[in-house]
Structure 1
Amino acid sequence: MAGVTIPSLQSLRALEAAVRLESYSAAARELGLTHSAISHRLRELEARLGTRLFERRGQRMVPSPRARAIAEPVARALTLLTETFPPARPARQPLRVSVLPSFAHRWLVPRLAGFRAAHPEIELHLDARLELALPGSGGIDAGLRYGLGDWPGLVATRLAGEWLLPVCAPAYRDAVALAEPIDLARAVLLRHARQQWAPWFAAARISIAEPRDTPLYEDAGLLLEAAAGGEGVALARGLLVARDLASGRLVAPFAQRIVDHSAYYLVRPAAPHRANAHADRLAEWIRATLRREQPESLLD
């Protein structure tokens, strides 16, 4: 077949999957690619054929009759190739993620079996530390951070917002008789280095000065352990304290809670990086897990 140039196997696989699933996103997930990669390969085919292959209708990408006609023999050919050359077990690709210890211990690690089951091709390495280990240096591919989303030189993808609410040990609540927010005036208010009490005081419409001389913690996980140990009242993030509230180890004395200005982000280098697709899978899994487990999570 001299002079005949066959489209790349990757483009043909993208076409077959997009026709069968009627979705670029679903095809991307099945093939382990990004949505933009699928779109790029299908545009190349359209340019080669001189015709549109898909039309968007709502959330669906509806294939044209020409696309369906091409996809049918392509599917048969791909099946034949798969039977002839059984795929070797792919090597697992590492994804090295810097993560805050509090988020790692209290939310991420207890759920990692679910991520590994969904993405066996990714070998996740966690580096738990308070400081931001810069993605793109020191072997770190991405980071899971909590803040305002303004890390210079990095691209930040918002994962979820947070609720803030006071929590303490049940025995401490009873000992101090915490019945109304103003009762906090006689409590020990534990401090986090980057989390002030003032916004919650304002929302609760109480006049209490920002605590100055009470115990101070750099790590949110240690802050919650101090509260559980009866040291005082902590202003907690909802995701980090959910299990302790469910078990009764900690209690929320008041119904008042506020939305924090900070949020959880996945951060990565601004320049193209080999692990970006795997980082996307991790971000998608975190959001899907939050949506399933905690419908009140601030995802948008």
Structure 2
Amino acid sequence: MGTKTWHSLPEYQALRALMESGTTSKAAIRLGLSQSAVSRSIASLEARTGRILFEREGGRLQPTNEAMRMNKRLDPLFEALDRIDGPPESTQETLRIAAPPTYAHRFLVDHMATFLKTNPNFYISLEVASSEDVIRGILGGQHDLGLTGVELSRDGVRLAPYRTSSAVCAMASDHPLAQRQVIRPEDLHDQPLIALTHRHARRAQLEKILHGARSDPRIIAEVSTSVAAVDLAKTGLGLAIVNPFPIVQYRSDGVVFRSFASQITYRSYFITPDHSPISRVARSFMRHLRLHTAKDSFSEKA
């Protein structure tokens, strides 16, 4: 039956301190011990290992080859101790976000930049997709967090309200109706209108409101995103009825937004998986957005 090997950390510390400082007095100061305690540790290590570790030359202790080999083998031990005693290692957490173009371009990008500057240990992957694809990505586990302005409730996802807003008219700053603070449905009669395509539920809602007010605008173009509608309106081509959030946050030059007197309201949501806890980085980013979303005249916190 073999002899059990034991190790003494104070002996190894004395060896390392003596090799780096050269004298027992300096090693003792470094370790906060007496010179005799350092000498006893070295003598005990030599006796236990059966090796001569230091030789005295000209009043100075010189490490032997045995001491240098032992010290080198001790490197991993002291590196591990440094990691234990030092600050925790930083680990980079990834957040996979998915959002439609209206949210992703400029609005989310700007907030991602400020978030990552203050949280350098986080990493963000942004996917630009339709609201349907955002939901599918959350359900399939490809995304941790989604944003949408469409209430697409599905089993397996959670919708957390983020912002609420009311419909606005977007138009060029020199449009005749830009002088009004509130645009009524009847004001749109015979006005050129840039409409969202029929796949948007709000299109049918708007048509019902206009029909009730006997207002018949001239639809001159159809687009699939609010951003495209606002950009066309900016050229002076016509008006657009859109959800102002978050467009009003980053589209303000050359275009004006005026309240549209209607019952059309919008909600923006955070989307997360229902089958697993929200990750720390996702919670942090949601909190960052809620805290740093700028105030505007057309939307408010949900």
Inter-partner Cα distance in structure 2 for 1:123 and 1:158: 24
Report if the CA contact (8 A) 2:195-2:229 is conserved. yes
TM-score if structure 1 supplies the norm length?
Answer: 0.60
Inter-partner Cα distance in structure 2 for 1:261 and 1:255: 11
1:221 to 223, 227, 240: 227
CA apart distance, 1:127: 0.3
Establish whether residue 154 from structure 1 lines up as the match of residue 161 from structure 2: no
Establish whether residue 132 from structure 1 lines up as the match of residue 136 from structure 2: no
Establish whether residue 241 from structure 1 lines up as the match of residue 243 from structure 2: no
Report if the CA contact (8 A) 2:167-2:242 is conserved. yes
Inter-partner Cα distance in structure 2 for 1:122 and 1:85: 24
For 1:195-214, what aligned pairs fall within 5 Å after superposition?
195-196=202-203, 198=205, 202=209, 206-209=213-216, 214=220
Say how many residue pairs are matched.
213
Establish whether residue 101 from structure 1 lines up as the match of residue 101 from structure 2: yes
Report if the CA contact (8 A) 2:205-2:264 is conserved. no
Name stretches of at least 5 consecutive residues in structure 1 with no aligned partner.
Answer: 1-80
Inter-partner Cα distance in structure 2 for 1:294 and 1:232: 23
Report if the CA contact (8 A) 1:149-1:265 is conserved. no
- Relative to structure 1, the CA distance from residue 272 to residue 140 in structure 2 (aligned partners, 3 Å threshold; closer, same or farther) is same
Report if the CA contact (8 A) 2:171-2:239 is conserved. yes
- Relative to structure 1, the CA distance from residue 156 to residue 210 in structure 2 (aligned partners, 3 Å threshold; closer, same or farther) is farther
Inter-partner Cα distance in structure 2 for 1:210 and 1:198: 15
Report if the CA contact (8 A) 2:149-2:269 is conserved. yes
Equivalent position of 1:37 in the other structure: none
Equivalent position of 1:192 in the other structure: 196
1:278 to 277, 281, 290: 281
Larger radius of gyration: 2
Which AA in structure 2 matches 1:143?
Answer: G
- Relative to structure 1, the CA distance from residue 121 to residue 297 in structure 2 (aligned partners, 3 Å threshold; closer, same or farther) is farther
The root-mean-square deviation of aligned C-alpha atoms, in Å, is: 3.5
Aligned with 1:107: secondary structure?
helix
Aligned with 1:151: secondary structure?
coil
Establish whether residue 298 from structure 1 lines up as the match of residue 300 from structure 2: yes
Which AA in structure 1 matches 2:215?
Answer: I
Equivalent position of 1:263 in the other structure: 267
Inter-partner Cα distance in structure 1 for 2:276 and 2:225: 32
Aligned with 2:232: secondary structure?
helix
Report if the CA contact (8 A) 1:107-1:239 is conserved. no
Report if the CA contact (8 A) 1:144-1:265 is conserved. yes
CA apart distance, 1:115: 1.4
Establish whether residue 251 from structure 1 lines up as the match of residue 256 from structure 2: yes
CA apart distance, 1:234: 0.7
Alignment deviations for residues 274-298 of structure 1 (CA, whole Å, 9 cap, x no partner)? x5322222221111112x5448632
Aligned with 2:203: secondary structure?
coil
User: How high is the sequence identity, in percent, across the aligned residues?
Assistant: 17
Name stretches of at least 5 consecutive residues in structure 2 with no aligned partner.
Answer: 1-80
- Relative to structure 1, the CA distance from residue 113 to residue 148 in structure 2 (aligned partners, 3 Å threshold; closer, same or farther) is same
* Structure with the higher strand share, 1 or 2: 2
Equivalent position of 1:165 in the other structure: 168
Inter-partner Cα distance in structure 2 for 1:84 and 1:224: 56
Aligned with 2:237: secondary structure?
coil
TM-score if structure 2 supplies the norm length?
Answer: 0.59
Alignment deviations for residues 218-263 of structure 1 (CA, whole Å, 9 cap, x no partner)? 122112111112221111222233256643x1123x5445564431
Report if the CA contact (8 A) 2:167-2:243 is conserved. yes
